[in-house]
Structure 1
Amino acid sequence: MVYGTYAYLSSESINKVDKIVVIGPKNSFLSWKEEFKNVFGNKRELRVIDIHNSDFRREMPYKNVQHYNLFLFNYEAIVSYRYELEKIIDDRTMLVFDEVHKIKRVNSERSLIAIELAQLTNFRYVLTGTPIPNSYSDIWNFLNILYKDEYRKYFSISLPMLNNPSELLKEEINNKLFPFFWRVTKHELGVPPENPDYICDIIANQNEQQLINLLWRKYSRNPFQLYIRLIQLSSNPSLLKNSLTEEMYAGYGEDSLEIDFLPLQDSPSYSDSELSLIDAIGESSKFLSCMRLSVNLIKENRIHIIWCLFVDTIFKVQNHLNELGYKVAVVYGGIESEERERIILDFQKGIYDVLVTNPHTLAESVSLHMISHDAIYLEYSFNLTHMLQSRDRIHRLGLNKGQETNYYYFCLNGQPESRSTIDKKIYNKLNEKKEIMLKAIERTSLSVEYTIDEKAEILQMMQEDHFEQKYTDRKDMFEEGSETSELARANIIKTIQEIERQNIVILEKIQKFSDRREELITSQEIYMKRFSDVVDGYYKIIENPNLVENSEQRLEEAETIIVNFYDQQIATLKMLNNNELREFDISLKLLKEDSIDLL
């Protein structure tokens, strides 16, 4: 579409533009260069400045700018290259912001520079598959890029209004946006439908189950660390011995690696017996099952992709398949752009049997559908954007009619009636969000398609699982004692469950407060941590009443405090419903300090 527009505007009869400047993620650069060749063939010569090429020199944009017809800059570079871009962009430039949602944060340095650069030309375009990923305020930047001078007069929607729009305002926003956006679906383009996902379920062996139980005990009060550790356990248990750092992620070094859930920073400590258990597992059942499928696909001459999250896992897969004599391409954030492009081009030519990569590095823009029709997900996170974009690498416009596309998801599950990993839960949550997203895409109107507040969603999911498992672990707790005490304690357990359900609702409501979301989530985390402490103290008294002085009195006190928590949750929900954020203070001051005695 963009190159078709460029062909028209730069034609001899129109002669309005002579170059394209693309600002986007650096992993899109190869596609822009290759697509130019595919569209124009030998009719036009590609003359490109790619700031990530090894032969790029800072002075190049100043020397004979008219010699080049394509300029490629990534979003992280527009701050340091602002002056150069101001020299390049003029009234004969097509300025394209690819994946414009990368600069959705209002009033950030990048977004402000992007808006100013856009005013240097009349030919400006924004490209995104997710125009409103999180809230209606996400349209602010790209509408000001496109129509800064006209925004107040035509759209006249302030930022506070976008942050919390009424249904009537949402309709007005869509009516005003409708003439300016063009969205096409795969169905409209005639892309053959993908096959249903293949879910490859593996039951944990005895050692793996012991390790699952260990992690739940060790990290039960740290949901984000537990989330990462369970993912590592299922595919690559040796990672459990390493500290959690940004460098362990295969996307490290990429444009804006956003790991918002990294209040992690875990340096693990294990006993000798626990280390022996980790070492005894070696390669996980899930990993070995994944490798068997990969080998079978190779034997059937089906070139495929294996998606991972961690650098160590990528190399683990590569080494395993290399030892079997297969050719494995590896792409991750630590590989330089030129080398990465060479590897991708060789993979597209069929030189390799399999490509092992990660979504943050390769999920966007790269086309692999002409060579590969199978993708294996060994590791995957809660990030729906990465999931959908990674799937699109092999399922896009250009597939032959009737071509099948297959996705394989590997899940390590706990043994029956035992704790489990979160593989299946992550997949199910992603699938739910995917269906919502696809329905939104099919509509002609724009709406908030899905949340990208990964931190809140992970917290919600892990708390659901934690409390659900806690109730399961203690299902026999109330079998002893008088009928009255059984009934009272059964009612308290229902209250505890209800508080947890309310917490999920509260986290969902917090999503809409984009300006205070992080602060409110942190407050709720502190609140629920205190609640969990009180509940643990309550359980300890029930389990060991003979070890606690005045146990019945202490139980009554604990039950009173739990009921107070319930009242506070109700008050919090009321405040959120009424947008009374000034009153939204769920700090520990609202609770009796003597509740700590329960512990």
Structure 2
Amino acid sequence: MSPAGMLQARLVGRPPVVEFSRAAADVPDDLWFALPVQLGSARGSRNGAQRLAVPVERFLGGRRWLAEACTRYDVGLDFNPELLELLQRSQLESAALDERLAATPSVAAAAQAAVPDVRVAADSRYIRDLRAFQDRDLRKLLTLDHGANFSVPGAGKTSVAYGIYESARVAGQVDRLLVVAPLSAFESWEVEAQSCFSTPPRIQRFAGHIPHGTEVVLVNYQRLENHLSALAGWLLEGRAHLILDEAHRMKRGRSGQWGTNCLNLAPLARRRDILTGTPAPQGPRDFIALVDFIWPNQARRILPGAALVSDPAPETMGDVSQAIEPLFVRTTKSELGLDEPHLHVEPVTMKPLQRNIYDALRSRYVGMFDLSRTDQSLLAQMGEVTMYLLEAATNPRLLARRVGGDDAVTFRYPTLAIAPGSPLSELIARYTDHEMPPKFEKLAQAVATNAAAGRKTLIWSNFIGNLLDLERLLAPHQPALIYGAIPHEEEAGSLAGTRTRESELGRFRNDARCQVLLANPAAMAEGVSLHETCHDAIYLERTFNAGQYLQSLDRIHRLGLPPGTETRITFLESESSIDEAVDARVGLKAQRLGAMLDDPDLVTMALPDDDDYGQVIEDVEDLAALFAHLEGAEDQVPAA
């Protein structure tokens, strides 16, 4: 018997939505107006009495409700071929997910062992020799329709991802790849393609259009919003593989723009993978958006209920790890097999004028704050104090000037208020006429020694003024320079001769005359690999943020280092200064973070990136260390 009415559904638009239409007499109003309530309304749509649009992923998630409602109202469903194909593919994925979650460990292991080597497959271009842990991860991920790689930073996740893509391409499952990643990661995808493929695919950094014949498109999270239509169209023109690199950036899901855009693209891809070494920077709830991207609308079915509440207990992370273990891989830090870097603290004795400035500044702060307080509300304020003390301990010149406006833009704290004519202001004003910062002298000696031995040097500083001063001081070594005002190629546009981060990195890597790279951790927090070029790093100063330190260390100490390579890390620390307190705290926290990176289970941890650089002072223990340093000289230093 034919249904009393017919509800038509079409996949239309770019990005696509599911558009319903009806003849008013055929479909009851109760069903019609329940559709947007149950399935949501597509952004920008104008729903009415005869036509309405709902998001694709909400349609897929609500298909059971829709079928039951149509049966109840005796209404048939008519899908166009594109929507029918999408629906059938979603149903197959759901069945495959159920099968994988129900599989015993022995069944999963047998499936993994049976995965063929992508390098010997017919028509395969993949030639990369993988480490044992990478091969293990690749095989497991290839037993999944969609997967997650939560290996630690520096584990070669890009190479594994290219192996997944090429396996799926050879099998006829996909014919193109869209990678959503931070700008800083683009270079890694381009360079790794040269090592992974005998004939590398044509890769295009997305700049508003996609040239014909492009096989791999790289786009950053910020550009998705204004170009979702073009990217969705490109995905639908073929059989697409969609990868999110540093996927934790879309952790807010539908509550954030980046998460919304990624979730909108997800159903359009034949395969989806996510890469991140820190999948849960804030807690178990971060997994909801990630799982919903890989397996649309399945997070609340896969994740334990305790992870879905507004404030999950810390122990919930173990339950999450167990629940999704069949769906992800994770290589730990120790599995990388890297030789430990040689860490060396180089004490630096302040010269008399710098010591007077530092002690006067410290004395001033002793009188300004209640040093018995150690509450969270002080973290930001005392972060400002820390930065001024670091300036004084490194280069007091920074306290008196702002170079070309760059410091004022980049610094994350307000201008230091020192009364003109005060003893402290007079000391600072005289500084540049009488002393060279002793850290600069030590640094120049170390760079010259390295250069004579044919070793390049990476120099880290949080202060733009230091980098610009060092660029002049180290001019004979033709230093490259990267900080916030140096744009990426995409940001620089077509202006000829513009200095970009890519051109500076290229000069440091390939120009024998360029012996030094001066860098700000905020501008090189992730994605840049220098381990084939440089094995010496010198830190002019560090903040209390241990994550920033570990991320910067990964630039030259990562997978791919030949066995026996000596990686040397030097910390210049002014004696009896904030540097010593920072060193003690960062060393302790780095050990804790290192233990987390070596945990095969998932943990709550965050590392900085170029959109979330992190705080100078992270916790009350840092605050206590700062106050202890301030109190240590309270009775000895002169009043400012």
Q: 2:563 aligns with which of 401, 405, 410?
A: 401
Distance 2:408 2:546 in 1: 17
Describe how 1:241-320 pairs up with structure 2 within 5 A: 241-242=400-401, 247-248=406-407, 252=410, 262=412, 264-272=413-421, 273-282=423-432, 283-320=436-473
1:435 and 2:591 matched: yes
Distance 1:426 1:118 in 2: 43
Distance 2:360 2:349 in 1: 17
1:333 and 2:505 matched: no
**Which runs of no fewer than 5 residues in structure 1 stay unpaired?**
253-258, 415-419, 476-599
| Distance apart, 1:8 and its partner CA | 1.1
Distance 1:353 1:228 in 2: 28
The equivalent residue for 1:20 is 177
Contact 1:227 1:462 in 2 (8 A): no
The equivalent residue for 1:185 is 332
| Distance apart, 1:374 and its partner CA | 0.8
The equivalent residue for 2:538 is 376
Q: 2:344 aligns with which of 198, 216, 222?
A: 198
Distance 2:239 2:602 in 1: 31
Contact 2:544 2:617 in 1 (8 A): no
Distance 2:587 2:416 in 1: 32
Q: Which amino acid aligns with 2:487?
A: E
The equivalent residue for 1:111 is 259
Q: Which amino acid aligns with 1:155?
A: L
Contact 1:331 1:358 in 2 (8 A): yes
Contact 1:244 1:267 in 2 (8 A): no
Distance 2:635 2:547 in 1: 37
The equivalent residue for 1:47 is 202
Describe how 1:59-208 pairs up with structure 2 within 5 A: 60-61=209-210, 64=212, 67-90=213-236, 92-105=239-252, 107-157=255-305, 161=309, 163-165=311-313, 167=315, 169-195=316-342, 197-208=343-354
Percent identity over the alignment is 24
Distance 1:448 1:462 in 2: 22
Describe how 1:476-515 pairs up with structure 2 within 5 A: none
SS in 2 for 1:204: coil
| Distance apart, 1:464 and its partner CA | 4.2
Contact 1:224 1:459 in 2 (8 A): no
Structure whose residues are more often helix by fraction: 1
| Distance apart, 1:135 and its partner CA | 2.3
SS in 1 for 2:298: helix
| Distance apart, 1:332 and its partner CA | 2.0
**CA distances 1:295-342 after superposition (whole Å, capped 9, x unpaired):** 2111221112111122221111111011xx222111222223233222
**CA distances 1:205-262 after superposition (whole Å, capped 9, x unpaired):** 3322221222224444452321111122222222112479994289x5xxxxxx8xx4
The equivalent residue for 2:137 is none
SS in 1 for 2:533: coil
**Which runs of no fewer than 5 residues in structure 2 stay unpaired?**
1-159, 370-380, 490-499, 609-613
Contact 1:330 1:356 in 2 (8 A): yes
SS in 2 for 1:330: strand
SS in 1 for 2:477: coil
| Distance apart, 1:47 and its partner CA | 2.2
Describe how 1:424-573 pairs up with structure 2 within 5 A: 424-449=580-605, 454=615, 457=618, 460-466=621-627, 469-470=630-631, 473=634
Q: 1:216 aligns with which of 343, 362, 367?
A: 362
| Distance apart, 1:404 and its partner CA | 1.0
Give the direction of change, closer, same or farther, for the CA distance of 1:470–1:355 in structure 2 (3 Å limit): closer
Q: Which amino acid aligns with 2:634?
A: D
Contact 1:308 1:380 in 2 (8 A): yes
Q: Which amino acid aligns with 1:436?
A: R
Q: Which amino acid aligns with 2:392?
A: L
Q: Which amino acid aligns with 2:181?
A: G
**CA distances 1:391-441 after superposition (whole Å, capped 9, x unpaired):** 111111221111111111111122xxxxx3x22222222221221122122
Q: TM-score, normalised by structure 2?
A: 0.64
Give the direction of change, closer, same or farther, for the CA distance of 1:149–1:333 in structure 2 (3 Å limit): same
Which segment drifts farther, 341-350 or 157-166? 157-166
Contact 1:235 1:284 in 2 (8 A): yes
The equivalent residue for 1:359 is 521
SS in 1 for 2:242: strand
Q: Which amino acid aligns with 1:268?
A: A
Q: TM-score, normalised by structure 1?
A: 0.68
Q: 2:394 aligns with which of 235, 256, 278?
A: 235
Q: Which amino acid aligns with 2:583?
A: Y
The equivalent residue for 1:7 is 166
The equivalent residue for 1:563 is none
Q: Which amino acid aligns with 2:603?
A: S
Distance 2:228 2:482 in 1: 30
**CA distances 1:100-120 after superposition (whole Å, capped 9, x unpaired):** 223334512222222222222
Aligned length: 442
The equivalent residue for 1:514 is none
Contact 1:245 1:265 in 2 (8 A): no
| Distance apart, 1:95 and its partner CA | 1.3
Give the direction of change, closer, same or farther, for the CA distance of 1:304–1:121 in structure 2 (3 Å limit): same
Give the direction of change, closer, same or farther, for the CA distance of 1:140–1:431 in structure 2 (3 Å limit): farther
Q: Which amino acid aligns with 1:86?
A: A
| Distance apart, 1:450 and its partner CA | 6.0
Distance 1:471 1:286 in 2: 23
Contact 1:215 1:226 in 2 (8 A): no
